[in-house]
Amino acid sequence: MKVVLQRVSEASVTVDQQKVADIQKGLLVLVGIEDADAQEDIDWLVGKIIKMRIFGDENEVMNCSVQDIDGDIIVVSQFTLHASTKKGNRPSYIKASKPDVAIPVYENFIASLEKEFGKKIQAGIFGADMKVRLLNDGPVTILIDSKNRE
C-alpha cells in the first residue's frame, strides 16, 4: 500500500455535487492498493498514520500527532499512486488492484484506522469521480510505502 499524508487546515470530498466528507484540522490520506497488500500492511500504515508527529506543539515544533491534537482524518482511494511512468508518457496502472480486490482492503483499512484512532474516519467513495478540496497546512506532505519501510 502507498499513502500520501497531507496535513490540512481543512479538507472535503464532493461526489456528484454532494459533500460526502468534510474535516477541519487533521490529515487527508490518499491510499493506493495493490494485490500484494495484506493485513500486515494495513496495521503498519495505521500505526504510522496515527502516530506521525507532523503537527506543531506549543512552540510550533512538529512534535504532535493527529491524535495528540484531536484532529480528524479523511481517507480517499487513489489507484494512481501505483502509476508506472517507466515507459513513454502514458502512465500504466498495472500494479493497482482491481475493485474486487481493492474495495475490501480499502474498507478494512478505514475500519482498522477507526478502531486504532478511536474516532469516526471520513472517507471518499471508492471508484467515484471525486472532487477533493484541501487547504494544505505547511505544506506538509508525507509519502509512505508499506513495501519500502525506510
Which residues are marked as active site? 78-80
Cα(145)–Cα(93) distance, integer angstroms:
16
Kindly state the DSSP code that residue 104 receives in the 8-state scheme.
Answer: H
| Residue in the structure block whose three cell numbers are 471518499 | 124
Cα(42)–Cα(36) distance, integer angstroms:
12
Cα(33)–Cα(105) distance, integer angstroms:
8
- Measure CA 34 to chain center: 14
